[in-house]
């Protein structure tokens, strides 16, 4: 069951702290991408989803590099299909309390993005299963994969 809410109406707890922590980091560490905005939340059964709009359009590759450098996220995989028109990146945080999230970035405009979808988790196991599911949905042709984290690397981030 999905339920759309405003961030301010979200009950105090792991999800609210996680969203606020990431939001504050994005504004502080990546001010060229994000400014203060109203946060709408979609609560799912096992995670909470947030879409954050960027101030303007950006090149996906540059944005991902900044996320990795400044927020220390891990790229599960990055792919491009349809002769470079469609890009997709799945990345995630090192899972620690109040910082368990998966970032989804996609572009159908040759690598230009203007928003970021984030799934927040309150369970290590649920986050791990989500990443396994994403690994299974990764493009099968190696030529379409720009970057891919090994299974062992992913597993080591959960220790």
For the stretch 8-43, pLDDT in tens is 777 778 899 999 999 999 999 999 999 888 888 999
pLDDT at 150 exceeding the cut of 80: yes
pLDDT of 104 reads 97
Q: Show me where the domains of the chain are located.
A: 3-156
132-145, pLDDT tens digit by residue? 999 998 887 777 88
pLDDT of 4 reads 65
Q: Is residue 78 classed exposed, middle or buried when 0-12, 13-18 and 19+ CB atoms within 10 A define those classes?
A: buried
40-84, pLDDT tens digit by residue? 899 998 999 999 999 999 999 999 999 999 999 999 999 988 877
Six token digits for residue 127? 């986050």
């Amino acid at each position: 069951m999905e339920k759309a809410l405003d961030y301010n109406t979200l009950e105090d707890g792991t999800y609210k702290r996680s969203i606020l922590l990431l939001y504050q980091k994005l504004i502080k560490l990546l001010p060229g991408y994000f400014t203060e905005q109203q946060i709408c939340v979609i609560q799912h059964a096992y995670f909470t989803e947030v879409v954050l709009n960027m101030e303007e359009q950006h090149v996906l590759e540059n944005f991902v590099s900044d996320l990795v450098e400044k927020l220390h996220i891990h790229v599960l995989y990055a792919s491009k299909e349809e002769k470079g028109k469609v890009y997709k990146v799945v990345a995630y945080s090192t899972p620690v309390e109040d910082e368990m999230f998966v970032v989804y970035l996609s572009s159908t405009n040759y690598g230009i993005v203007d928003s970021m979808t984030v799934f927040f988790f309150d369970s290590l196991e649920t986050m791990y299963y989500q990443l396994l599911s994403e690994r299974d949905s990764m493009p099968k042709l190696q030529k379409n994969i720009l970057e891919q984290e090994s299974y062992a690397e992913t597993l080591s981030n959960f220790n």
